[in-house]
Amino acid sequence: MRILHILPGLGAAGAETFVRNLCLGLQGDDEITQEIAISTLPEQFYEPELRQAGIVIHRTAEFSGFRGLWAHLQQLFRLLRSAGKAGQAYDAVHCHMDYLNGCNLFAAWLAGAPRRICHSHIAVSQAQQPSYAARMYRAVMRRWIRRFATDCCACSPEAGSSMFPWLRAPVVLPNGISLVRFTEALADPSLPQRKQAELALPAKAKLLITAARISEQKNPLFLVDVLAETVRRCPEALLLWCGTGNLEPQVRTRIAALGLEDHVRFLGSRRDMPELLALAECFLLPSRWEGSPLVLAEAQAAALPCMVSDQVSRFADAGGCRFLPLEIGAAGWAEAIAQGLRNGFPEKVDAVRLRRFDIGETCRLYASLLLEG
C-alpha cells in the first residue's frame, strides 16, 4: 500500500512526532510505503532525518488565509491526481490537520483516493472558549469528515469522541514511541554528570522538566507561576523548558519580572529528550486542553512522575501521572511538586500499561487498519 500523510509541517510537535515515529517504525514493512505532504515551506525539525531514511516529502502551499488554503488544496489535488495518472496512485490518504481534515478529505475524495483516514490528535475543551464562528467551522468540518472519511482514528477515546461524536468507538492508535531509547538513557551511569556539565546545571538543583509548544494550549504563563511558587518552597528547583512557540516572549518577560532567570533553562526543540528526561525528577504539563500527549508517554518511559492538568486524557496515564485541577491555582500545584521533591513522588509507572505506547504496537495496529480494513 502507498500512503500519503498530510500535515501542516514537520516541527517537533505531537502529531508530527507521531507521524515521524510511524514512518520510521514501518520502514522495514515491504507492504506499506509512506510519504508525507506538508504545507510549511521552510525546512523543519524532522525533515532531514526523514529524508535520510528515504521518506519522500512533498510540499503543497503555505497558507494563513483563504487564498493560501485554496492553493494548498489545489496542489494536494494535483499531487493525488498526477500520482494516479502515472500509475502510482495512493491507496490511502491520512489527514493530521485537526478540523481542517475536512477540506483535505474532500480534495482526496475528488482526486479518487479510495481510503481517506481522518486522525484526531486533540480533544476540544470548554477552556478553549471558541467563538460562534469557530463553532460553526467545526460543525461544518465534522459534516465533511463524516461524509468524506472512510476511516476515523484518534490518539485517545476523548480525542475520538470530540471530533467524531457520531461514532461509538473510533479506532484508537496510541502515540507510539521507542521505549528502548528511554530505558537505555536511564541505564547510562555517565549520563547525569555528562549532561549536567553540558547544560551548566548546578550540582544540587532539583530538576523539573516540561516539553511542549509555548502556546495557549499548553498554559505556559500558568507554568511560570507554578515555578515561582515552587521556588518559594524549594529554592533548588530548576525547570528545563523544551520547546518553542508564539508565547515565548511573554513567558520570558514574566520570568524576568518574577526574578526566575536562574531557575529556568530554555532548551528549544531537542533531539536528546531521553537524556534530558532521565536527568529530571518530575515532568510538568498544565495544559488547558489535550488529547493524549506523546510527550507524556516519553516522560513515563523515563520513569518520571508527571504532574499534569485534569484536562489531559486518562488514556495517557501508565501509572506515572497525577491529575491536578487548574482551579487549585499555582500554589496548589507547587505544593504537590514541592512535597514530591522533599519526600519522593508516590506515582510509579506500570511497565505493562506503558507497553501500549511502544511504537511496535502502534505500527502493528496501524498496519492492521490499512491491510485488514
Tell me: the pLDDT tens digits for 11-21?
A: 988 899 999 99
* 42 CB-side CA count, 13 A: 3
Given pLDDT bands bounded at 50, 70 and 90, which one contains residue 41? confident
Fold exhibited by the domain 179-356: Rossmann fold (3.40.50)
pLDDT of 126 strictly over 60:
no
pLDDT value, residue 125: 62
Q: pTM score, two decimals?
A: 0.92
- DSSP code per residue over 48-85: HHHHHTT-EEEE----SSHHHHHHHHHHHHHHHHHHHH
In angstroms, the CA 164 to CA 153 distance is 9
Chosen CATH of 2-176+358-372 out of 3.30.450.20, 3.30.565.10, 3.50.50.60, 3.40.50.2000: 3.40.50.2000
Which residues of the chain are in CATH 3.40.50.2000 domains? 2-176+358-372, 179-356
pLDDT in the model for residue 332? 98
Average pLDDT over residues 71-84: 95
Residue in 275, 273, 175, 260 with CA at minimum distance from that of residue 220: 260
Please give the radius of gyration of the chain, using alpha carbons only, rounded to the nearest integer.
21
Residue 128 has what pLDDT?
62
Q: What is the model's pLDDT at position 305? A: 97
**Residue 228: enclosing H or E segment and its boundaries?**
helix 220-233
Is 30 a residue whose pLDDT tops 90? no
* Structure confidence at residue 195 (pLDDT): 93
Sequence-distant (≥ 6) Cβ neighbours of residue 304 within 8 angstroms: 209, 277, 280, 281, 282, 283, 320, 349
